[in-house]
Amino acid sequence: MTDDGRVLLTLRRPAKNRQGAIVLSPVQFLRRLAWLVPPPAQHQVRYAGVLASASKVRRTIVPRPAPALQLPFPIENMRPRVQKRRMSWAKLFARVYSIDGERCLSCGGPLRAIGAVTESSHVAETLGRMRRPRCARDPPQLTLDL
């Protein structure tokens, strides 16, 4: 900072006009500093110089990946990793809605899934297998007088 409240910015390398420092007002300094802040949701690492992607000498400096290993046995004999199975519907309901989908509400016995109903035409069939009657009517609809 100078005596009159302006910012003295010293440069690492002198500019083309051999000037080694720039005197800026506080607003100009903050404007230059704000340009260095990356925009939101962007990569935070930016490379410059020889590490920049367009650098001609980058290939000589950046290490290359190691060559592929030659295994003493064929890969076909290896068993694939078993992927973790996804969470059951009952556990998802318990996590999201705080409903225990693995225990009966009245007797506390274990429940089991008998199927997933994805279409309304299958509701009667599913309820028929459970020996429960279907709803008497659809829920009432709102009528708006505009």
- How many whole angstroms separate alpha carbon 2 and alpha carbon 72? 71
First to last CA, the chain: 67
**Is residue 23 helix, strand or coil?**
strand
Domain coordinates in residue numbering, the chain: 98-129
Q: pLDDT tens for residues 56-92?
A: 888 888 888 888 777 777 777 667 677 777 877 778 8
Reported as a pLDDT band with limits 50, 70 and 90, residue 53 is: confident
Does the predicted model carry a pTM greater than 0.85? no
Reported as a pLDDT band with limits 50, 70 and 90, residue 52 is: confident
Identify the pLDDT of residue 116. Answer: 72
**Is residue 63 helix, strand or coil?**
coil
Q: For 128, phi and psi rounded to 5 degrees?
A: -65, -40
Give mean pLDDT, residues 117-142: 70
Q: Report residue 30 as tokens.
A: 């903050």
Q: Which residue has the tokens 């390398």?
A: 13
Q: Which residue has the higher pLDDT, 115 or 31?
A: 31
Long-range contacts formed by 83-90: CB under 8 A, 24+ apart: 88/113, 89/113, 89/116
Q: Is pLDDT at 8 greater than 80 in this prediction?
A: yes
Identify the pLDDT of residue 27. Answer: 92
